[in-house]
Each structure stands twice: as structure tokens, then as C-alpha cells.
Amino acid sequence: MALKNRIIVALDLPTVYQAEKMVETLGDAVSFYKIGMELTYAGGLPLVKSLVAKGKKVFLDLKLHDIPHTVEMATARVADLGATFLTVHAYPQTMEAAHKGRKGTDTQILGVTVMTSMDDDDLKRAGYACGVSELVITRANQAKNIGIDGLICSATDIANVRKSIGQTLKIVTPGIRPTGSDFGDQKRVMTPADAVQAGADYLVIGRPITNASHPRAAVEAIMAEMSATKI
Ligand code: C5P
């Protein structure tokens, strides 16, 4: 896959107007966008269809998690919108329901293993008895057995995940920080080139691009950094 098509820009912006301006600014430098909760709750859902009509791909990052029937039906409605990827939390019941709901559509289901903003202490605080690496591997294996399409995991987990489940699932990686950029609330981060080298199929990049004074130049710099590294 061309490097350019591996970058998914997270449109984590407060208004649809700002999101549309960002898409205009980035132009043909970006072909894949992620719409998450912030923009969805700001009225951003219709953007899925309008971006698809412009030839862009859309990742709807709704991180669904509810009773199976609700997840199944919600997944079917997201598929109607034409999203390429939809996220659900990687609980077995939830992944099974989403897998059922996307049947016969082109929407692919990605299971969120463990948020990249969480480390072992955060998991302990949330009541889990295991650490991040163990939970990621458990959920990756469940995702594989259920048959969903891919996983969201930190670049720092990819090597272990690939060792455990092989190449069957796509890996989409947030927590990407180009050299010298701010971590913000992300804890388990990697540079774009290192993440692709580690085995990520797609990179989700938000603030390092959308908060840059020149977002298109930021994308081009990321591409240049990746091209300069032997991947
Ligand atoms: O701005 P930044 O590059 O940190 O954006 C990362 C994006 O990826 C955010 O939209 C966030 O919701 C999403 N994400 C994440 N960690 C996960 C799953 C999704 O950061 N485990």
C-alpha cells in the first residue's frame, strides 16, 4: 500500500465547518479521515456521506459498546452510511454483535484493544487484574477467533500482537507522534516510520496535523520522514 494511503487524519474538531475547512486545506494530500465522537456529537455524521462522495474513505470511530442487539443494529446503520472502518470496544460480546451487524456490507470492524492513553497503572485503577500487554493479546486472540477485520492497538504492542495472531487482522495504530511533537494525553507512542516498520497497516494521526499552523505541510513532513526511513 502507498505510504500516503496509510495515513488516516483524525478530524477531532469542534464544528463541521472546521472539519470541512481542514479537509479542504489537506486536499489531495490525504485520502482517509477519521470521524470520532467529538465531531459526531457536533453534527458530523452527514460528513461521512459527503466525504465518501468526494472519493475519500471514512473511519467512523464510535467505539461502540452496548448490549448485543443494540450494537448489531447500530453497526448495520453505520454500514448504511458507507464508512470503511467502524470501531467497537474489544469485548467478545460486542465484537460478535458488530460482526453480525456488518454482514453483507463493505464496512469493516476494528476492535479497540486498550486505549493508547492507558498504561498498567490506569488499567489497575479501572479494576483490571492484568497489565496492558496481557489484555491486548487476550483481546487480539478473541478478535481473531470471532473473525472481525482488524484491531486498534498501540504501535508499541504490534510486535507482540503479530507474534500471537500472525498477519490475519489489519492493525490500525493511534498514538502516533512525529519526531519532536507533543505527546498530549498519549502515553504509548511511536513515530510514523517506526510504527509502519513495526507492522502497522494504517496510522491514525490527529493533533500533530490538525493543530499544526500549516496542516498540509505537517502531512508532507510526516510523509517525507516516512519515505526517508527504509520501511
Ligand atoms: O490527536 P491524536 O493523534 O492523539 O489522536 C488520536 C486519535 O485516535 C483520537 O481521535 C483518539 O480518539 C483515537 N484513539 C486513540 N487510542 C485508541 C483508540 C483511538 O488515541 N486506543
Split at pLDDT 50, 70, 90, the class of 229 is confident
pLDDT of residue 225: 85
Q: What is the CATH number of the domain that holds 208?
A: 3.20.20.70
Atom of ligand 1 nearest to the CA of 10: 10
Give a yes or no: residue 38 inside a domain: yes
Task: Check if the beta carbon of residue 73 is closer than 8 Å to that of residue 40.
Answer: no
Task: Tell whether ligand 1 has an atom less than 6 A from the beta carbon of residue 175.
Answer: yes
pLDDT of residue 35: 98
Q: Whose CA is nearest to atom 8 of ligand 1?
A: 174
Name the residue of 123, 190, 204 whose CB sits within 8 Å of the most ligand 1 atoms, as the mutation to test its pocket.
204
Give a yes or no: residue 231 inside a domain: no
Task: Tell whether ligand 1 has an atom less than 6 A from the beta carbon of residue 8.
Answer: no
pLDDT at 230 over 70: no
Task: Tell whether ligand 1 has an atom less than 6 A from the beta carbon of residue 10.
Answer: yes
Task: Tell whether ligand 1 has an atom less than 6 A from the beta carbon of residue 12.
Answer: yes
Ligand 1 center to 159 CA (angstroms): 20
pLDDT of residue 227: 85
Across residues 185-197, what is the average pLDDT? 86
pLDDT in tens, 72-103: 999 999 999 999 999 999 999 999 999 999 99
Query: For the chain, what is the domain count?
Result: 1
Give residue 78's domain range: 3-226
Q: Whose CA is nearest to atom 3 of ligand 1?
A: 206
Give a yes or no: residue 43 inside a domain: yes
Ligand 1 center to 93 CA (angstroms): 23
Task: Tell whether ligand 1 has an atom less than 6 A from the beta carbon of residue 11.
Answer: no
Across residues 155-179, what is the average pLDDT? 93
> Which one is catalytic: 63, 103, 144, 187?
63
Ligand 1 center to 7 CA (angstroms): 13
Atom of ligand 1 nearest to the CA of 186: 4
Dihedral sign, Cα of residue 115, residue 121, residue 123, residue 125: negative
pLDDT of residue 189: 82
Tell me if residue 124 is catalytic. no
Average pLDDT over the chain reads 94
pLDDT in tens, 109-120: 999 999 988 999
Q: What is the pTM of this model?
A: 0.93
Give a yes or no: residue 82 inside a domain: yes
Task: Check if the beta carbon of residue 203 is closer than 8 Å to that of residue 192.
Answer: yes
